[in-house]
Structure 1
Amino acid sequence: MLSDLPIRKIIHVDMDAFYASVAQLDNPELRGKAITVGGGGTRGVISAASYEARKFGVKSAMSGRLAIKLCPELIFVRTDFDRYKEISNRVRKIFYEYTDLVEPLSLDEAYLDVTENKKGHPSATLIAQEIRQRIFNEVGLTASAGISINKFIAKVASDYNKPNGQKTVNPEDVLQFLEDLDIRKFYGVGKVTAEKMYQKGIFTGKDLKSKSLDYLDENFGKSGRYYYYIVRGIQHSEVKPNRIRKSLAAERTFSKNLSSEIFMLEKLEHIAEEISKRLQKSKVSGKTITLKIKYSDFTLQTRSKTLPYFVSDKAIILETAKDLLYQDKLNNSVRLLGISLYNLNTDTKKRQPSPIENKSVSVQLKFEF
């Protein structure tokens, strides 16, 4: 029963079109115009699109070539991750003035548990509103927010009134909210799963809720149990302030397809150098090295090797990547290469739980949200 669960006050803050908005912040001439970050050149892929560009159907992961057909006036802007990190840190500094329970998901979004907060404020809705206003006043960007009893519902809600809006799903409204929710809006349900659910007559949360646990396990495997509980508003995942990095990767898409391993070695060296610098800057290392190969027909292949020791050195990473490259014959010409490190030494680090996380929040379903 939902009423038997401890009720948390969770906020999901999501910056609006973050990369594109930072570009418009830094260059006033770009404000109000259709822009994308990335996607320039004949082979570029878009990382982010401004809301002005989205009106034309331009979106992330789209090729720049297609985007310019949809929006001939489109402006391409280069990525600037150092600037994104700088802005992200300023935003997170605001979060920490309200709670230490902040779980960043990426540079532009995070969960906050404000059940017990530094301001002593009883209303999570008003805290979210205040945080969004401060981000606008102090950073110059807009953010949207979702507020509810768990991370799942808060994340879904944050997408409702974008851009520059927020939505609260109160405890007493949770079950109806989930029943009315289009299955495509469920976080964790991708296009393939949504299509499978459609074929089985599952279009809304109410349809999903009508299915038994055995049915969902049988038809959706391990995810079935997740769907069964989440549609009932049950999620035990806490906001984890020290999310441990599980992997680190870097990749390059080439302006021309590469057909020989020899031509790829120089590219791999640059990728290995970048990932080594990032590993050393983060003070982490890894054992499992994975080579990612995307062919000209867009098929994807990965090859991995686990070393007996942790590494962060460029030379070792590069030599291992070379071995993986020569491991098997290439299926076609190559448009992208990437190197990832998994099995990081951070996996062995245990986070000390915050005293707040160990408290059971004994509250009634009706309390100020």
Structure 2
Amino acid sequence: MDAFFASVEQRDHPELRGKPVAVGGSRERGVVAAASYEARRFGVHSALASKIAAQRCPQLIFVKPRFEVYSAVSRQIREIFFSYTDLVEPLSLDEAYLDVTENKIGMPSASIIAKEIKARIAEVTGLTASAGVSYNKFLAKLASDMDKPNGFTLITPDKAEAIVAGLSIDKFHGIGKVTAAKMQSMGIVTGADLRQRSEEELVRNFGKVGRYYYRISRAQDEREVQPHRIRKSIGSERTFDADLTEEYDMLERLQYLAEEVAQDMARLKATAKTVTVKIKYFDFTLNTRSKTYLSEFSSADAIFTIARDLLRTPQLPAYPVRLLGIAVSSLLYQHDKQEGYQLTIEF
């Protein structure tokens, strides 16, 4: 989807159309969750500190996020995907891989299917999407980013290697800023440079992910679309308008976060054994505290109780807190559990 959260806000609030919009944060503090294309022209993007965003774009309009609305629209889009194939691997609310090699309408052309999906999304939601079509996941993702917004790009086998060779290394999906900077310091600036390096050298410098870098430099990616990709953690966090200094205020926020996490766990039919509390102080110093239990839990009360104890251990935060977060991990899903029975114990 194109600037998904911001586009939903512009759709629902006509007065925002054509204007620079940031979802999340405020002029004083917080973090941008999504930015409209009008805002992106000023260098405003997701994960940017709101204060910096406001400096770059003085006319920026900040809008509070409505995640329940975004989730509802995401479900509409997902239904469209499933009308073509069951092999759908969601990456987030607004992005997914689809394998249409065999599809429900018997269409031999992935390009025609992609264009149909784009048209149906526009008809059902009033929003635009960009599609990338190719013979593997890496290239399809690459293609989807090449012609936004409302774009369509096809990368055929005869053109793939040349496109990858000319690509700047910081544009490779799966290569982050830190890794890109390290590669550039090694003289790896483009895909062509990356292809000159041996697999052994890439593994030596980047670990086992070096094998992935070796393959994608040759436009190779054998990963399958996984329709049931299992989440390893579930979490929620908030940046506050004013720093928190009182325990009561921190616990109130933790209770809200615990309820959000518990709702997501219920939706996914999951239980957990580990809770992690994230604390970011006024000076952006980050601290995490974690605890793992032998037994499973899933209720908001249990998550809050563990998070509260972690907040107090070894002591309450000594400095003003600008962000709190809760995440649960060591997840077990209902479909993975084996049926058991209650033992009768003779006393």
TM-score under structure 2 length normalisation: 0.92
Percent sequence identity is 54
Q: d(CA) in 2 for partners of 1:53 and 1:130?
A: 29
- Select which of 169, 173, 178 maps to 1:192: 178
Structure 1 pair 348/288, CA: closer, same or farther in 2 (3 Å)? farther
**Amino acid across the alignment from 2:330:** N
Count of matched residue positions in the alignment of Structure 1 and Structure 2: 336
Matched with 2:333 is 346
Residues 1:22 and 2:8 are matched in the alignment? yes
**Amino acid across the alignment from 1:162:** K
User: How far does the alpha carbon of each residue in 1:310-351 deviate from its partner, in whole angstroms, 9 at most, with x for none?
Assistant: 11122221221122222234464321111100011129739x
Residues 1:87 and 2:73 are matched in the alignment? yes
**Residue 148 of structure 1: how far off its partner (Å):** 0.8
CA contact (8 A) 1:246 1:347 kept: no
CA contact (8 A) 1:286 1:344 kept: yes
Matched with 1:264 is 250
Matched with 2:324 is 337
Q: d(CA) in 2 for partners of 1:98 and 1:263?
A: 48
Unaligned runs of 5+ in 2: 338-347
Matched with 1:215 is 201
**Residue 247 of structure 1: how far off its partner (Å):** 1.3
Q: d(CA) in 2 for partners of 1:172 and 1:347?
A: 45
Matched with 2:127 is 141
Please tell me the root mean square deviation across aligned C-alpha atoms, in Å.
Answer: 1.8
Structure number with the bigger relative contact order (C-alpha 8 A, sep ≥ 6) is 1
Q: d(CA) in 2 for partners of 1:327 and 1:58?
A: 38
- Select which of 280, 284, 294 maps to 2:280: 294
Q: d(CA) in 2 for partners of 1:300 and 1:206?
A: 38
Residues 1:44 and 2:56 are matched in the alignment? no
**Residue 262 of structure 1: how far off its partner (Å):** 5.3
Unaligned runs of 5+ in 1: 1-14, 351-369
**Amino acid across the alignment from 2:159:** D
Q: Which SS does the other structure have where 2:267 is aligned?
A: helix
User: How far does the alpha carbon of each residue in 1:106-158 deviate from its partner, in whole angstroms, 9 at most, with x for none?
Assistant: 11001100111112112111211121112112221110011111111111111
Post-superposition, which runs of at least 4 consecutive aligned residues in structure 1 deviate over 4 A?
A: 260-263
CA contact (8 A) 1:244 1:347 kept: no
Q: d(CA) in 1 for partners of 2:69 and 2:124?
A: 16
**Amino acid across the alignment from 1:336:** L
Matched with 1:60 is 46
**Residue 208 of structure 1: how far off its partner (Å):** 0.6
CA contact (8 A) 1:249 1:341 kept: yes
Residues 1:165 and 2:151 are matched in the alignment? yes
Residues 1:101 and 2:87 are matched in the alignment? yes
**Amino acid across the alignment from 2:258:** A
- Select which of 224, 227, 234 maps to 1:241: 227
Structure 1 pair 36/126, CA: closer, same or farther in 2 (3 Å)? same
**Residue 166 of structure 1: how far off its partner (Å):** 1.3
Matched with 1:229 is 215
Higher deviation after alignment, 243-252 or 269-278: 269-278
TM-score under structure 1 length normalisation: 0.86
Structure 1 pair 277/231, CA: closer, same or farther in 2 (3 Å)? same
